[in-house]
């Protein structure tokens, strides 16, 4: 089968047709021969039987009257039929009554071969037995034997004729099919050719020629359509490719520009970063310098204060008896002023520290811290400090937030003018901020002072009434703003004041940005 | 103090010196007080053979010419002088100063209280301690 | 003396035995001959067609008559029950004409004789052939005998012996006269066919 499959279409078609024809012819021939043989046989049998019957009929009397001669005479008539080689009559005892032998042969029929009736083919002879019936009684049997060889010879002849016919017909079939296969193979081959050309040269403009209106024709049509589609697609593709190339070029150009820009930007950024690093370094060193400076300054400024204080003390102690009331008052004032100076220096130092001295950021639970601060400020009994709301946990420097609350609370307590002082600490969420409030029912603040109070060294009460550095709120403001929040006050004179400040909920990372901004702006 | 050797005071601020003096008086400390105003002067005293070696040195850190740390370095390098216990008596709370001082084997570090009364308490503490503690018998 | 006697007795025994056997042989021979003839008679019936008037009733048997001194004996035994052409065969024996004439049953007997399909006229009736034949003329009787000159007397079939074989000869004219159809097969087996020259008798 694979041989068949791999042959060329032409050969395939021819082979198939030939195979079919030969098979048909052979079958027909064989059938014919077979049929002929069997017909011939039965014909032989029939004819021989007929002859036997006739002999039988004619021998009845001979048998009845035991006239063997007559029977023999009758048998002699068989001479006419050349194929009959032997004929005989048996009497009713199955003994030979009369026989006839053809000239050239004496083939005896053995008693064992005897049959009452019927026929048999054996060794190239047909033997027929027929009973001779006279008046319903079998009086004998006729046996005729004829030579089949002529028949076989004829059969052979027929076979050879048929074979010859078969060959001739096959030849004719070959010629015809070879000629006619073109009808099928022609269009297919041409299609194959076109396909080959198309695939080799990638020329999609060729088309196959439709020759017939059969399935191959439809195939060719479909093929052409396909080619058209391919051609069309091809064009589209080429187009798209061109477009794509253009776009790619554009994009490449864009990208190159962007790249250049980016490189420039990167360079700029790098410079900026370098600058930033530089600045940070500078900042750090400046910071350190300032720190040292502040430290030294405060230390050195404080030193004489100590001396003054000590001496003042000694004077008041040693020469107490030499001093009158005024003198003692003055010494007291002197001491007071020394303390104030000390506090101011501390305040300034603190103020300068905020923002420069970095502490560790930690999660501070205000619900724990604030009560501690409240305890620390040790408000007098008449003033109650309460926390109204749940306070959040914020990430900040603990010291700083302590300073915030401490300052606000101590202010509220310090300036309390009511017999029942109430300080309330609250906290609400506002967008992304915590809004804290410290509300008191103290003296209140006039609106025109709302801004001033946050300035350094500003106090509202004369310093002799309430000892205040005037740094507290400034410090608070600085801390709050450092964390990215806001502080303001709402107040009604005589009723009380509420200080609000906001702190962002997320990490207080605004510090650096602010600092950077301030550095840049300073340049 | 245990004995009656002098106490060397290295202090540049006159008021502070006076304070120590006064404190001694208040506390009835009998040891004589030798006053030097800077490290150099103190060294000169110590080096001077004719001077009695102090039993304790009270040392300020912030001084001109030679400050306390420098003085300490010199003294502690000296085999003889290093035996004298030094108590730093200074206004500085700086950690670095404390560390450095103890690195140089000071026997104590006291921050001068601003308040005089507290100052006296501090001196008393020194006195009591060094009365209790053994002191090496120098020359 | 004794030897001679015994010899003579022996010889006589042999002779007697021989005669007996010969006689028997002769007898068996002759009985065999008549057996064959009996079979032949049967067969004749098979090959002869009687006219319609003789064979109207199919139930009626075919009658074989034997007139005269019956030589057959029990020769018919083997075949007597066999039907021929679907008819039974009946064998009637008749006395010879001489005796018959004197018999009181003459007429019925003669009628019976005439009824026969086949009449075998024995040798004993040799002198009376013509008479006997005459008796049954016009009655379509197949006359058969085994004597010389029977056919010349008007008999239809006559048995002959040829080399110990039973043969027969046929007088076709006589058959025609008796309105009997003798089949060609039988005819061709006859050793001799006799055709009478047309005579005045015939024309009657």
Long-range contacts of B122-125 (CB under 8 A, 24+ apart): B122/B89, B123/B20, B123/B23, B123/B24, B123/B27, B123/B29, B124/B23, B124/B27
Instruction: Kindly report, residue by residue over C96-105, the tens digit of the pLDDT.
Output: 777 767 666 6
- Give yes or no on whether A2-174 and A359-522 have one common fold: no
Distance of alpha carbon B59 from alpha carbon C142, whole angstroms: 200
ipTM score of the complex? 0.74
Judged against a pLDDT cut of 70, whether residue C28 lies above it is answered with: no
Tell me if A342 and B114 make a contact (CB, 8 A cut-off): yes
Describe the crossing of helices B95-103 and B68-77 by its angle, rounded to 10 degrees. Answer: 10
Q: Is residue B25 part of a domain?
A: yes
Residue (of C136, C153, C146) closest to C194 by Cα position: C153
Half-sphere exposure in the Cβ direction for A428 (13 Å, CA): 5
What is the rounded (10 degree) CA torsion for B70, B72, B73, B75? 120
Could you tell me which residues are beta bridge partners of residue A501?
Answer: A436, A487
Judge contact between A185 and A210, C-beta under 8 A.
Answer: no
CB count, 10 Å around CB of C82?
14
Q: Is residue B2 part of a domain?
A: no
> Residue A347: its pLDDT value, please?
82
Q: Is residue B136 part of a domain?
A: no
Judged against a pLDDT cut of 80, whether residue C178 lies above it is answered with: yes
Distance of alpha carbon A382 from alpha carbon C122, whole angstroms: 196
Backbone torsions φ then ψ of A65, nearest 5 degrees: -105, 15
The contacts of residue A227 (CB under 8 Å, 6+ apart) are: A198, A204, A206, A207
Judge contact between A305 and A339, C-beta under 8 A.
Answer: no
Tell me if A135 and C189 make a contact (CB, 8 A cut-off): no
Distance of alpha carbon B138 from alpha carbon B100, whole angstroms: 25
| DSSP class of C84 | B
Give the minimum alpha-carbon distance from B101 to chain A in angstroms, rounded to a whole number: 18
Distance of alpha carbon A522 from alpha carbon A405, whole angstroms: 31
Distance of alpha carbon A486 from alpha carbon A212, whole angstroms: 94
B91 to chain A: which residues are within 8 Å by CB? 299, 302-303, 306
Residue (of A405, A392, A406, A403) closest to A363 by Cα position: A392
Distance of alpha carbon B98 from alpha carbon B89, whole angstroms: 11
Distance of alpha carbon A138 from alpha carbon A92, whole angstroms: 7
Joined tokens for residue A485: 């929040």
B13 to chain A: which residues are within 8 Å by CB? 303, 307
> Residue A523: its pLDDT value, please?
47
Judge contact between A103 and A116, C-beta under 8 A.
Answer: no
CATH of the domain at B98: 3.40.50.2300
Joined tokens for residue A150: 């002529």
Mutation target vs C (from A135, A137, A138, A140; most C CBs, 10 A cutoff): A135
Joined tokens for residue A130: 């027929």
Tell me if C43 and A61 make a contact (CB, 8 A cut-off): yes
What domains are there in chain C, each with its CATH number? 2-203 (3.40.50.2300)
> Residue A521: its pLDDT value, please?
54
> Residue A489: its pLDDT value, please?
93
3-state secondary structure A321-363: HHCCHHHHHHHHHHHHHHHHHHHHHHHHHHHHHCCCCCCCEEE
Mutation target vs A (from C39, C44, C185, C190; most A CBs, 10 A cutoff): C185
Q: Which of A62, A134, A135 sits opposite C189 (nearest CB)?
A: A62
User: Does A310 contact B at CB distance below 8 Å?
Assistant: yes
Q: Is residue B139 part of a domain?
A: no
CATH number, domain A2-174, options 3.30.450.20, 3.40.50.620, 3.40.50.970, 3.40.50.12160: 3.30.450.20
Joined tokens for residue A518: 């301030």
Distance of alpha carbon A58 from alpha carbon C42, whole angstroms: 18
Q: Which of A303, A310, A314 sits opposite B91 (nearest CB)?
A: A303
Q: What are the residue boundaries of the structural domains of chain A, listed by start? A: 2-174, 359-522
User: Does A292 contact C at CB distance below 8 Å?
Assistant: no
Tokens 């002929």 appear where?
A36
Give the minimum alpha-carbon distance from A397 to chain B in angstroms, rounded to a whole number: 21
Residue of A nearest to B119 (CA): A310
User: Does A346 contact C at CB distance below 8 Å?
Assistant: no
Judged against a pLDDT cut of 50, whether residue B139 lies above it is answered with: no
Tell me the DSSP string of A426-494: EEEEETTEEEEEEEE-SS---GGGTTGGGSTT--SS-TTTS---S-HHHHHHHHHHHTT--EEEEEETT
Judged by average pLDDT, the poorest of A10-19, A229-238, B43-52, C8-17 is C8-17
A54 to chain C: which residues are within 8 Å by CB? none
Give the minimum alpha-carbon distance from A341 to chain B in angstroms, rounded to a whole number: 13
Long-range contacts of C196-203 (CB under 8 A, 24+ apart): C196/C171, C202/C173, C202/C177
Backbone torsions φ then ψ of B50, nearest 5 degrees: -75, -20
Q: Is residue B135 part of a domain?
A: no
Distance of alpha carbon A148 from alpha carbon A152, whole angstroms: 6
Residue B122 lies in domain: 7-130
3-state secondary structure A373-401: HHHHHCCCCCEEEEECCCCCEEEEEHHHH
Judge contact between A294 and A352, C-beta under 8 A.
Answer: yes
Q: Is residue B23 part of a domain?
A: yes
Residue (of B116, B67, B59) closest to B85 by Cα position: B59
The predicted model scores a pTM of 0.42
Tell me if B91 and A306 make a contact (CB, 8 A cut-off): yes
Give the minimum alpha-carbon distance from C96 to chain A in angstroms, rounded to a whole number: 28
Q: Which of A67, A135, A137 sits opposite C189 (nearest CB)?
A: A67
Distance of alpha carbon A88 from alpha carbon A115, whole angstroms: 13
Tell me if A65 and C40 make a contact (CB, 8 A cut-off): yes
A310 to chain B: which residues are within 8 Å by CB? 15-16, 18-19, 116, 119
Q: Which of A60, A61, A135 sits opposite C85 (nearest CB)?
A: A135
What is A359-522's CATH topology? Heat Shock Protein 90 (3.30.565)
Q: Which of C39, C166, C188 sits opposite A70 (nearest CB)?
A: C188
> Residue A510: its pLDDT value, please?
44
Per DSSP, helices labelled H in A100-210 are 149-201
Joined tokens for residue A274: 């370098």
What is the rounded (10 degree) CA torsion for B111, B113, B116, B118? -90
A72 to chain C: which residues are within 8 Å by CB? none
Distance of alpha carbon A85 from alpha carbon A75, whole angstroms: 11
Residue of A nearest to C48 (CA): A61
E strand map for C75-197:
89-94, 118-121, 142-145, 157-162, 165-171, 181-182, 192-194
Residue (of A117, A144, A118, A140) closest to A68 by Cα position: A140
Give the minimum alpha-carbon distance from B95 to chain A in angstroms, rounded to a whole number: 12
Give the minimum alpha-carbon distance from B116 to chain A in angstroms, rounded to a whole number: 6
Residue (of A156, A118, A163, A131) closest to A40 by Cα position: A156
- Count: domains in chain B: 1
Joined tokens for residue A491: 């107040």
User: Does A288 contact B at CB distance below 8 Å?
Assistant: no
Tell me the DSSP string of A180-236: HHHHHHHHHHHHHHHHHHHHHH--TT--PPP--SSHHHHHHHHHHHHHHHHHHHHHH
**In A, residues 8-67, which contact C (CB 8 Å cutoff)?**
58, 60-62, 64-67
Residue (of C38, C42, C75, C77) closest to C61 by Cα position: C42
- Secondary structure class of A87 (helix, strand, coil): strand
Half-sphere exposure in the Cβ direction for A304 (13 Å, CA): 6
- Looking at chain B, the whole-number percentage of residues with pLDDT higher than 90 is 8
**Which H or E run includes A126?**
strand A125-134
Joined tokens for residue A35: 């049929």
List chains adjacent to chain C, taking adjacency as at least 3 C-beta pairs closer than 8 Å. Answer: A
pLDDT 10s per residue in chain A (523 long)?
A: 677 677 788 888 888 888 888 888 888 888 888 888 888 888 888 888 888 888 888 888 888 888 888 888 888 888 888 888 888 888 888 888 888 877 765 656 555 566 667 888 877 788 888 888 887 888 888 888 888 888 788 888 888 888 898 889 888 888 888 888 888 788 888 888 888 888 888 877 878 787 778 888 888 888 888 888 888 888 888 888 898 889 888 888 888 888 888 888 888 888 888 888 888 888 888 877 877 777 777 777 888 888 888 888 888 888 888 888 888 888 888 888 888 888 888 888 788 777 667 777 888 888 888 888 888 887 788 888 889 888 888 888 888 889 899 999 988 888 888 888 889 999 998 888 899 999 999 888 888 888 888 887 777 777 667 777 778 888 899 999 988 899 999 999 988 999 999 998 865 444 444 555 555 555 4
Tell me if A65 and C168 make a contact (CB, 8 A cut-off): yes
Residue (of C86, C43, C56) closest to C182 by Cα position: C43
Tell me if C47 and A61 make a contact (CB, 8 A cut-off): yes
Q: Is residue B1 part of a domain?
A: no
Q: Is residue B30 part of a domain?
A: yes
Distance of alpha carbon A84 from alpha carbon A90, whole angstroms: 17
B15 to chain A: which residues are within 8 Å by CB? 306-307, 310-311
Distance of alpha carbon B119 from alpha carbon B113, whole angstroms: 5
List chains adjacent to chain B, taking adjacency as at least 3 C-beta pairs closer than 8 Å. Answer: A
The contacts of residue B62 (CB under 8 Å, 6+ apart) are: A299, B12, B68, B90, B91, B92
Q: Which of A58, A65, A70 sits opposite C43 (nearest CB)?
A: A65
User: Does A68 contact C at CB distance below 8 Å?
Assistant: no
Residue (of A487, A490, A508) closest to A498 by Cα position: A490
B114 to chain A: which residues are within 8 Å by CB? 302, 306, 309, 342
A479: exposed, middle or buried (Cβ count in 10 Å: 0-12, 13-18, 19+): buried
Joined tokens for residue A181: 């296969």
Judged against a pLDDT cut of 50, whether residue C134 lies above it is answered with: yes
Buried b or exposed e, range C163-178, using 16+ CB within 10 angstroms: eeebbbbbbbbbbebb
How many residue pairs from chains A and B have C-beta atoms closer than 8 A? Answer: 31
Residue (of A396, A420, A496, A501) closest to A454 by Cα position: A501
> Residue A518: its pLDDT value, please?
54
Distance of alpha carbon A89 from alpha carbon A87, whole angstroms: 7
Describe the crossing of helices B14-27 and A215-318 by its angle, rounded to 10 degrees. Answer: 60
Judge contact between C174 and C155, C-beta under 8 A.
Answer: yes
Distance of alpha carbon A442 from alpha carbon A458, whole angstroms: 18
Distance of alpha carbon A140 from alpha carbon A130, whole angstroms: 9
């Amino acid at each position: 089968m694979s041989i068949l499959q791999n042959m060329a279409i032409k050969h395939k078609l021819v082979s198939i047709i030939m195979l079919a024809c030969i098979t048909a012819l052979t079958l027909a021939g064989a059938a014919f021969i077979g049929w002929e043989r069997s017909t011939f046989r039965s014909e032989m049998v029939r004819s021989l039987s007929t002859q036997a019957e006739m002999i039988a009929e004619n021998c009845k009397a001979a048998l009845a009257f035991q006239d063997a001669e007559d029977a023999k005479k009758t048998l002699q008539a068989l001479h006419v039929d050349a194929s009959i080689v032997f004929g005989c009559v048996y009497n009713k005892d199955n003994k030979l009554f009369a026989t006839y032998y053809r000239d050239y042969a004496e083939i005896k029929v053995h008693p064992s071969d005897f049959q009452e009736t019927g026929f048999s083919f054996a060794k190239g002879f047909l033997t027929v037995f027929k009973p001779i019936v006279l008046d319903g009684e079998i009086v004998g049997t006729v046996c005729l034997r004829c030579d089949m060889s002529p028949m076989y010879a004829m059969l052979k002849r027929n076979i050879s004729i048929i074979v010859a016919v078969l060959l001739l017909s096959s030849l004719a079939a070959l010629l015809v099919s070879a000629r006619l296969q073109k009808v099928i193979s022609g269009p297919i081959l041409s299609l194959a050719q076109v396909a080959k050309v198309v695939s080799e040269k990638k020329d999609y403009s060729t088309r196959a020629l439709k020759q017939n209106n059969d399935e191959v024709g439809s195939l060719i049509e479909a093929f052409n359509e396909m080619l058209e589609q391919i051609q069309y697609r091809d064009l589209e593709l080429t187009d798209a490719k061109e477009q794509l190339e253009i776009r790619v070029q554009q994009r490449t150009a864009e990208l190159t520009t962007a790249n250049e820009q980016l490189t420039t930007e990167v360079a700029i950024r790098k410079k900026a970063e370098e600058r930033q690093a530089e600045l940070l370094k500078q900042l750090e060193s400046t910071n350190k310098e300032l720190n040292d400076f502040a430290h030294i300054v405060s230390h050195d400024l404080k030193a004489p204060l100590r001396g003054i204080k000590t001496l003042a003390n000694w004077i008041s102690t040693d020469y107490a008896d030499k001093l009158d009331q005024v003198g003692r008052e003055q010494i007291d004032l002197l001491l007071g002023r020394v303390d104030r100076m000390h506090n101011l220096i501390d305040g300034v130092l603190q103020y300068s520290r905020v923002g420069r001295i970095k502490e560790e950021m930690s999660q501070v639970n205000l619900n724990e811290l604030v009560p501690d601060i409240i305890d620390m400020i040790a408000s007098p009994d008449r003033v109650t400090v309460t926390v109204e709301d749940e306070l959040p946990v914020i990430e900040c420097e603990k010291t700083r937030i302590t300073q915030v609350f401490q300052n606000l609370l101590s202010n509220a307590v310090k300036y309390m003018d009511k017999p029942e002082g109430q300080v309330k600490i609250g906290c609400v969420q506002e967008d992304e901020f915590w809004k804290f409030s410290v509300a008191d029912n103290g003296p209140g603040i006039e609106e025109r002072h709302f801004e001033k109070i946050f300035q350094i060294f500003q106090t509202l009460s004369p310093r002799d009434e309430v000892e205040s550095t005037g740094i507290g709120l400034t410090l608070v403001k600085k801390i709050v703003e450092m964390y990215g929040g806001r502080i303001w006050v709402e107040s009604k004179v005589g009723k009380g004041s509420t200080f609000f400040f906001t702190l962002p909920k997320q990490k207080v990372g605004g510090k650096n940005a602010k600092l950077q901004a301030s550095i840049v702006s300073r340049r | 103090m245990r004995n009656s050797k002098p106490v060397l005071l290295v202090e540049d601020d006159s008021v502070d010196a006076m304070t120590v003096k006064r404190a001694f008086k208040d506390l009835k400390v009998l040891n004589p007080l030798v006053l030097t105003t800077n490290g150099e002067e103190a060294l000169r005293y110590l080096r001077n053979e004719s001077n009695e070696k102090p039993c304790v040195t009270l040392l300020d850190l912030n001084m001109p010419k030679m400050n306390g740390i420098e003085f300490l370095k010199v003294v502690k390098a000296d085999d003889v002088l290093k035996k004298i216990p030094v108590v730093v008596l200074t206004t500085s709370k700086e950690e670095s100063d404390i560390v450095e001082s103890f690195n140089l084997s000071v026997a104590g570090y006291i921050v001068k209280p601003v308040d005089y009364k507290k100052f006296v308490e501090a001196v008393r503490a020194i006195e009591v301690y060094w009365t209790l503690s053994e002191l090496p018998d120098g020359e | 003396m004794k030897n001679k006697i015994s010899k003579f007795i022996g010889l006589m025994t042999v002779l007697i035995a021989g005669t007996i056997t010969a006689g028997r042989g002769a007898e068996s021979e002759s009985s065999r001959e008549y057996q064959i003839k009996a079979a032949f008679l049967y067969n004749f019936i098979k090959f002869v067609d009687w006219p319609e008037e003789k064979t109207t009733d199919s139930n009626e048997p075919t009658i074989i008559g034997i007139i005269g001194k019956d030589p057959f004996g029990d020769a018919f035994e083997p075949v007597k029950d066999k039907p021929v052409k679907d008819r039974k065969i009946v064998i009637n024996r008749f006395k010879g004409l001489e005796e018959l004439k004197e018999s009181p049953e003459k007429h019925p007997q003669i009628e019976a004789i005439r009824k026969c399909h086949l009449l075998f006229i024995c040798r004993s009736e040799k002198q009376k052939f013509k008479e006997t034949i005459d008796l049954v003329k016009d009655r379509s009787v197949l006359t058969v005998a085994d004597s010389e000159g029977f056919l010349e007397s008007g008999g239809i079939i006559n048995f002959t012996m040829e080399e110990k074989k039973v043969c027969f000869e046929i007088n076709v004219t006589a058959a025609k006269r008796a309105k009997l159809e003798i089949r060609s097969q039988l005819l061709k087996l006859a050793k001799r066919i006799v055709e009478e020259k047309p005579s005045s008798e015939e024309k009657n």
